[in-house]
């Protein structure tokens, strides 16, 4: 376990915000985390605790006046291999894309469409990360956690995690209560690519790859190329990927918008609801490639807010509010951030 005081979080948030944590604790095993929690209790330390992953979905609004916890649990263990499925328990501190690469190299299939998503495995089970028609929840069987109040282990089934689009119980009701230590995935030995998301088939065809001959490596590479083309590299331009969630609206609302904007893109959700891309609405409001002070809207994908250099969390939050107000005024829809705002 490493413990550091007044620690810079710059490398722990992909916006590259220059904030510090009063204390930063990194643990390598479940036992280390339990010892830390016990000692904290014995000292009667009641300062706030914040558990982070790769910091790819965080917006720090000020210095963190408490303890930031980070997992460095790096294990990948096969727990069972039966029929078409392999069951793998992955440590929360494993970098998400390293896990996807490991799975592809091992010929375990399913995660290809989630290639190059920034962040770590623990956070993937909190955020239910998703891309190109696939979500982490499609492969998560259960999640091991530690109760940060009692230090006790608790297992959550995928059902108990209440997964939905960019949502889990760890983001709402149980926010801040549990630290994910391991995630149990079920992957397949048969490759059944999910190519239904708009543009994916065309991207493969453009490379001369026939859909029915595509390999998982080729699919992963194609997804990586698409993401690199559309999304900024956080090491070059601070950002947190999609800043907003795509709003899910009733068909009535969609039809009202489609009357004025027949070209409005949408995804089917269920019989009554559709999802409208927030990036499209933000672009319609004229924000794509524009800036407010040191915070900007990425020129190739309006869903992504960027740190143009030395922005503060407040600068980005201010741009977020202005965009929300403009989208609401134009479309009558309140778009909500996917990014977690942290104020201590």
What whole-number distance in Å separates Cα of residue 274 and Cα of residue 52?
32
User: Residue 81: which H helix or E strand, with range?
Assistant: strand 76-82
The piece of 15-23, 184-192, 240-248, 318-326 that touches ligand EPU (CB under 6 A) is: 240-248
- Cβ 301 to ligand EPU, closest distance in Å? 5
**Interface pick for ligand EPU out of 203, 302, 327, 335 (rule CB under 6 A):** 302
Instruction: Answer for the pair 275, 165: CB distance below 8 angstroms, yes or no.
Output: yes
Residue 303 binds ligand EPU, judged by CB under 6 A: yes
Identify which of residues 35 and 245 has a Cβ nearer to ligand EPU in the complex. Answer: 245
b/e 84-120 (16+ beta carbons within 10 angstroms → b): ebbbbbbbbbbebbebbbebbeeebbbbbbbbbbbbb
Instruction: Answer for the pair 281, 330: CB distance below 8 angstroms, yes or no.
Output: yes
Instruction: Answer for the pair 1, 73: CB distance below 8 angstroms, yes or no.
Output: no
Q: Pattern of binders to ligand EPU over 110-139, x per CB under 6 A?
A: ---------------------xx-------
Residue 296 binds ligand EPU, judged by CB under 6 A: no
- Cβ 336 to ligand EPU, closest distance in Å? 10
- Going by C-alpha positions, the residue among 48, 189, 214 that lies closest to residue 110 is 189
Three-class secondary structure of residue 334 per DSSP: coil
**Interface pick for ligand EPU out of 60, 109, 163, 280 (rule CB under 6 A):** 280
- Cβ 15 to ligand EPU, closest distance in Å? 13
**Residue 305 Cα to chain centre, angstroms:** 15
What whole-number distance in Å separates Cα of residue 39 and Cα of residue 37?
6
Q: Pattern of binders to ligand EPU over 179-218, x per CB under 6 A?
A: ------------------x---------------------
Residue 246 binds ligand EPU, judged by CB under 6 A: yes
- Cβ 276 to ligand EPU, closest distance in Å? 9
Q: Would you name the residues annotated as active-site residues?
A: 166, 242, 338
Beta bridge partners of 291: 296
Q: Which residues bind ligand EPU (CB under 6 A)?
A: 131-132, 197, 230-231, 241-242, 245-246, 265, 277, 279-280, 283, 288, 301-303, 338
């Amino acid at each position: 376990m490493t413990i550091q005081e007044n620690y810079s979080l710059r490398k722990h948030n992909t916006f590259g915000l220059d904030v510090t944590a009063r204390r930063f604790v990194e643990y390598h095993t479940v036992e280390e985390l339990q010892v830390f929690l016990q000692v904290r209790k014995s000292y009667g330390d009641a300062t706030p605790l914040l558990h982070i992953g790769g910091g790819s979905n965080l917006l720090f609004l000020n210095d963190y006046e408490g303890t930031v916890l980070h997992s460095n649990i790096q294990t990948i263990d096969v727990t069972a291999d039966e029929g078409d499925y392999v069951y793998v328990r992955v440590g929360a501190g494993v970098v998400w894309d390293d896990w996807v690469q490991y799975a592809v190299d091992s010929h375990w299939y399913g995660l290809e469409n989630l290639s190059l998503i920034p962040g770590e495995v623990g956070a993937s089970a909190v955020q239910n990360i998703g891309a190109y028609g696939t979500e982490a929840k499609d492969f998560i069987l259960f999640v091991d956690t530690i109760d940060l109040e009692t230090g006790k282990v608790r297992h959550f089934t995928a059902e108990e995690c209440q997964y939905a689009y960019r949502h889990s119980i760890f983001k709402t009701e149980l926010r801040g209560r549990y630290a994910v230590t391991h995630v149990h995935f079920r992957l397949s030995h048969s490759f059944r690519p999910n190519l239904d998301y708009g543009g994916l088939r065309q991207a493969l065809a453009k490379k001369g790859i026939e859909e029915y001959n595509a390999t998982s490596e080729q699919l992963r590479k194609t997804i990586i190329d698409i993401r690199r083309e559309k999304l900024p590299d956080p090491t070059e331009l601070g950002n947190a990927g999609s800043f907003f969630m795509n709003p899910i609206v009733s068909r009535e609302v969609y039809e009202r918008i489609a009357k004025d904007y027949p070209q409005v893109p949408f995804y089917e959700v269920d019989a009554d609801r559709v999802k409208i891309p927030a990036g499209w609405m933000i672009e319609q409001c004229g924000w794509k490639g524009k800036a407010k002070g040191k915070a900007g809207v990425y020129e190739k994908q309006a869903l992504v807010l960027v740190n143009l250099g030395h922005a503060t969390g407040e600068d980005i939050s201010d741009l977020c509010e202005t965009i929300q107000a403009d989208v609401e005024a134009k479309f009558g829809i309140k778009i909500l951030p996917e990014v977690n705002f942290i104020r201590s």
